[in-house]
Amino acid sequence: MSRSHLLRAGTVVAALALGAAACGGGSSGSKAPKTTGVAAAYNAAVNGVVNASSKKGGTLNYVAASDFDSLDPARTYYAYSWNFQRIYQRTLMMFQTKPGAEGAQVTSDLATAPGVVTNSGKTVTYKLRDGITFEDGTAITSADIKYALERSFAEDVINGGPGATYLKPVLVGGTAYKGPYKDKAGLASIKTPDTKTISFDLVKPFSDFDYLMALPISTPVPQKKDTGARYQFHPVASGPYKIDTYQPNKLLKLVRNDKWNAASDPNRKALPDQIILTEGLQSDDMDARLLNGSADLEIEGTGVQPTAVSKILTNPELKKAADDPSTGFTRYISIQEKVAPFDNIHCRKAVQYAADKVALQFARGGPIAGGDFAGQMMPPTLPAYKQFDAYPSGPDHKGDLTKAKDELKLCGKPSGFTTKIATTNKGKGPKVAVALQQGLARVGIKADIIQVDSSTYYSGFIGVPDNVHKRGLGLAVAGWGPDFPTEYGFFESIVDGRAIKQQGNSNYSEFNDPTVNSLIDQAQATSDVAKRNDLWNQIDHKVMDGADYLPFVADKALDYRAPRLSNVYITGAFGMYDYVNIGIA
């Protein structure tokens, strides 16, 4: 999956967490010491604020290769779109506007504080701030947020977003509710006792609920301005900016929203006077604009192209304005345990040892543009991350062929076997497949490459277990990043055996270990952070023990920030620059 593309949803909540009150988020924006700025240097924005400033004015010029999937807050699923919407839309909760790991924690936005959990975890209540308004000056009420959340349930009109997936199994009556267009009565489990209070009745305690409310789905939508599927062409702003012009795939221009009340918004600085996003550009063209100063940022956050990588890394001045952050994605090969001979764990282990990780890393673009070697599924951006290498592939990372052959013998296939590698037909997928193929060939594992168009690869090809079995797709090239930056948001869809689906499955290998399933439940029910992290570490190890997953790279991207920008930093929530507070120095 391409990084600019969806943060693969998955049905995270399909079989839901029993966890109690453990709120993963920091409670407010005020507990951390005031971040001081750092000077511009290579990787300076990964953990610090470059050019900290409160100077207002000017025009930011952003560029993007393609258009957003949607500007409708309930329909968008691209990571960079979620990040970008925070500039002009407010949500109940939001990711903190802070660099690094702190940016992956939630704080209150429209709400005065994180959700108050009562009724033994089954009721969450938020109070709204004073002075919050839409761009036309009308006050935002709890009914606007209730209505916005209800829209997500109308999957026939409001499709594409994460709302239905996450909310349906969590809210009481969610699975039967059809959305506000068909069911005027609304969803009874979202209560608005007064205009300043909103509360939710949950089926079970859900510790990541504040994270759910930090997704764009909780952006208020005024019912009388809602045009259904066409709302995406002019969504009503609630933050410091509003949409002035939107020409899909060409241009998006944001100007100041004079109705926004700065006193009601402690998170946003609102520095530039306007923000112009030019869309539909070629990647190399965007890089050229970036390096010559006519563009400030590439908002898709996928990193620059090889040409620009070489220019940036060979020029100290340019390098000072570049960062190489972890994006939170793990690139891996999924080994399908229902496809022979991978029903035998030793055959899976043979693949783990035989793979040439250098070749795989190079296929992703090398250590800078591709990422670091990975020996585990959990990405280094998550709090519980503790590095280990489950199947060491030799000192040079080119594979441990002796161990691979031993495993082949144990599997009863000493001279190897034949299998298939599924991949997309564009981008880096085929290169990864070829790199895997040549690595496995060294121990006699002969793999044929099956290419499928990128648009159907995940949802309709390897995401359909029947198809995987029928075609004998023993190996599949894949990538995974969390929908929201918690261990649960990362692991649930891919390792919880109870969440395997017959369509749109994300657990391609059909990994289903009862121990892991119960550990996930335990982790969600543990409120002590250290204990919970320890449980997630155990899960990380158990998953690797099953040998269904062959992670090879913890994704990185080389990003470039224009030197004139102020308040630039990478947010841990998205692994890209935080667009909320960038200004012009």
- The residues of the shown chain that bind another protein, judged by CB under 8 A, are 284, 305-307, 309-310, 313, 356, 358-359, 362-363, 365-369, 425-426, 430-431, 433-435, 437-438, 448-453, 461, 470-472
Nearest to 545 by CA among 391, 396, 327: 391
Q: Could you identify the residue written with the tokens 């395997």?
A: 500
- Residue 33 per-residue DSSP state: P
Nearest to 561 by CA among 51, 116, 110: 51
Query: How much of the chain is helix, strand and coil, in % rounded to 5?
Result: 30, 20, 50
- Least separation, in Å, of the C-beta of 358 and another protein? 6
- Residue 204 per-residue DSSP state: S
> Both ends of the chain: CA-CA distance in Å?
36
Q: Specify whether the CB–CB gap between 134 and 515 falls below 8 A.
A: no
Nearer to another protein, 168 or 357 (CB): 357
**What is the spatial distance between Cα 311 and Cα 31, in angstroms, rounded to a whole number?**
41
- Least separation, in Å, of the C-beta of 361 and another protein? 9
Burial 478-508 (b: 16+ CB within 10 A, else e): bbbbbbbbbbbbbbbbbbbeebbeeeebbbb
Structure tokens at 68: 């957003």
Nearer to another protein, 108 or 326 (CB): 326
Pairing between strand 371-373 and 190-194? unpaired
- Least separation, in Å, of the C-beta of 306 and another protein? 5
- Least separation, in Å, of the C-beta of 451 and another protein? 6
Other Cβ atoms less than 10 A from the Cβ of 198: the count is 28
Nearer to another protein, 113 or 313 (CB): 313
**Which secondary structure element, helix H or strand E, spans residue 418, and what is its range?**
strand 418-424
Nearer to another protein, 104 or 450 (CB): 450
Surface-to-core class of residue 396, CB atoms within 10 Å of its CB (0-12 exposed, 13-18 middle, 19+ buried):
exposed
**What is the spatial distance between Cα 7 and Cα 328, in angstroms, rounded to a whole number?**
10
Nearer to another protein, 59 or 456 (CB): 456
Nearer to another protein, 1 or 214 (CB): 1
Nearer to another protein, 53 or 454 (CB): 454
- Least separation, in Å, of the C-beta of 435 and another protein? 7
CA 266 to each of CA 51, 87, 110, 239: distance values in angstroms, whole numbers, following the listed order:
20, 13, 10, 12
**What is the spatial distance between Cα 147 and Cα 141, in angstroms, rounded to a whole number?**
10
- Least separation, in Å, of the C-beta of 320 and another protein? 17
Q: Specify whether the CB–CB gap between 327 and 556 falls below 8 A.
A: yes
Nearer to another protein, 444 or 472 (CB): 472
Surface-to-core class of residue 317, CB atoms within 10 Å of its CB (0-12 exposed, 13-18 middle, 19+ buried):
exposed
3-state secondary structure 75-111: CCCEHHHHHHHCCCCCCCEEECCCCEHHHHCEEECCE
Nearer to another protein, 468 or 520 (CB): 468
3-class DSSP state of 451: strand
Nearer to another protein, 41 or 313 (CB): 313
Nearer to another protein, 123 or 361 (CB): 361
- Least separation, in Å, of the C-beta of 456 and another protein? 9
Nearer to another protein, 298 or 483 (CB): 298
- Least separation, in Å, of the C-beta of 41 and another protein? 18
**What is the spatial distance between Cα 317 and Cα 524, in angstroms, rounded to a whole number?**
46
